[in-house]
Structure 1
Amino acid sequence: MKSNFTPMAVSVYFIATLIIVSAAAGQISQDKIPVIICFKGNSDVAVVEEHGGEIKYQYHAIPAIAANVPQHSISILKDDPDVKYVELDAEVYIDEEPVFSSDDKVPWGVSRIQADKVHNISSGSGVKVVVIDTGIDYTHPYLAANYHGGYDFVNDDADPMDDAGHGTHVAGTIAATDNEIGAVGVAPNAELYAVKALDSHGTGWVSDINAAIDWAIIEDMDVISMSLGGSTNFTSQFEICQAAYDSGIVIVAAAGNGYGGNVSYPAAYDSVIAVSATSLIDSNTYFSNIGDEIELVAPGANIRSTTLGGGYGLKSGTSMATPHVSGVIALLLSADSGLEPAEVREILAATATDLGDEGRDIYYGNGLVNASAALENR
Structure 2
Amino acid sequence: MAQVGTPAGGFASLWNGSAGSSPGTSLADIRTIVGANTATTAHLDGTGIGIAIIDTGVVPVPGLPANRIVNGPDLSFESQATNLRWLDTYGHGTHLAGVIVGDDATSGSLGLAPKAKLTSVKVGTANGAVDVSQVIAAVDWVVANRNHDPSHPIRVLNLAYGSAGNPAFWTDPLHFAVEQAWHAGIVVVAAAGNDGNGFGRLDNPAANPYVLAVGASLTKGTLTTADDELAPFTNLANAGKQVEVLAPGESVLSLRNPGSNVDNSYPGARVGTTLFRGTGTSQAVAVTSATAALLLQSKPWLTPDQVKQVLVESGTFLPNGPGANFGLRTLNLHAALGYSPVWYPQQWTRSDGTGPIDTSRGTSRVVRNGVTLDGERSIFGTFSSSGWAGQSAARTAWSGGLWLGHRMAGDGWTGSSWASQTWAGATWTSPSWDGSGSWTDPAWSSHFWSTGAWTPGDWGSHFWSTDSWASACWC
Give TM-score scaled by structure 2 length: 0.57
Task: Report the Cα offset of residue 197 of structure 1.
Answer: 1.1
In the alignment, what sits opposite 1:227? Answer: 160
Alpha-carbon distance in structure 1 between the residues aligned to 2:96 and 2:285: 8
Query: What percentage of aligned pairs have identical amino acids?
Result: 29
* Alignment partner, residue 448 of structure 2: none
Structure 2 distance, partners of 1:17, 1:267, is 20
Root-mean-square deviation (CA, aligned residues, Å) is 2.6
Specify which of 177, 198, 213 is matched with residue 103 of structure 2. Answer: 177
| Farther off after superposition, 112-121 or 293-302 | 112-121
Work out whether 1:351 is the aligned partner of 2:318.
no
Shift of 1:363: 4.9
Q: Does residue 1:101 correspond to 2:21, yes or no?
A: yes
After TM superposition, list the pairs within 5 Å mapping 1:82-97 onto structure 2: 95-97=12-14
Contact 1:255 1:288 in 2 (8 A): yes
**Any idea what the Cα deviations from partners look like across 1:76-103, whole Å, max 9, x if unmatched?**
xxxxxxxxxxxxxxxxx95441112333
Partners in 1 of 2:63 and 2:187 — Cα distance?
Answer: 28
Q: Tell me the matched-pair count.
A: 289
Instruction: Decide whether aligned partners of structure 1 residues 369 and 144 sit closer, same or farther in structure 2, where only a CA change above 3 A counts.
Output: same
Is this contact kept in 2: 1:290–1:362, CA < 8 A?
no
Give the whole-Å Cα distance in 2 for the aligned partners of 1:265 and 1:240: 12
Q: TM-score with structure 1 length normalisation?
A: 0.70
Contact 2:51 2:157 (8 Å CA) reproduced:
yes
Does residue 279 (structure 1) correspond to residue 218 (structure 2)? The answer is yes
- Per-residue CA deviations over 1:209-246 (Å, capped at 9, x if unaligned) read 11111111011121110112123135110111111111
Change (3 A) 1:229 1:269: same
How big is the shift at 1:253? Answer: 0.9
The answer to whether residue 291 in structure 2 is matched with residue 328 in structure 1 is yes
Matching residue within 124, 132, 135 for 2:57: 135
8 Å CA contact 2:163–2:204 kept in 1: the answer is yes
Structure 1 unaligned runs (5+)? 1-15, 21-92
Q: What's the secondary structure of 2:140's corresponding residue?
A: helix
Please name the residue that 2:252 is paired with. 303
Distance, in Å, in 1 between the alignment partners of 2:216 and 2:11 is 16
Return the offset for 1:337.
1.6
Pairing 1:253–2:193 present = no
Q: Residue 96 of structure 1 contacts residue 316 of structure 1 at CA under 8 Å; is this kept in 2?
A: no
Classify the secondary structure of the residue corresponding to 1:237. Answer: helix
Q: 1:351 to 1:224 in 2, by over 3 A?
A: same
Question: For the residues of structure 1 that align with 2:203 and 2:312, how far apart are their CA atoms?
Answer: 20
Distance 1:225 1:172, change over 3 A: same
Contact 1:135 1:168 in 2 (8 A): yes
Contact 2:254 2:277 in 1 (8 A): yes
The residue type equivalent to 1:236 in the other structure is P
CA distance 1:258–1:180, shift in 2 (3 Å): same
Q: Which residue of structure 2 lines up, in the alignment, with residue 217 of structure 1?
A: 143
Q: How does 1:177-196 map to 2 (within 5 A)?
A: 177-196=103-122
2:35 maps to amino acid: Q
Indicate conservation of the 8 Å contact 1:18/1:229, yes or no: no
**Does the 8 A contact of 1:164 with 1:200 survive in 2?**
yes
Contact 2:189 2:285 in 1 (8 A): yes
Larger strand proportion, structure 1 or 2?
A: 1
Q: In structure 1, what residue type is equivalent to 2:334?
A: S
Q: Is the 8 A contact 1:224 1:249 kept in 2?
A: yes
* 1:200 equivalent in structure 2: 126
1:105 CA displacement = 8.1
Gaps of 5+ in 2: 147-153, 221-227, 259-272, 341-475
Which of 309, 312, 317 is equivalent to 2:275?
Answer: 312
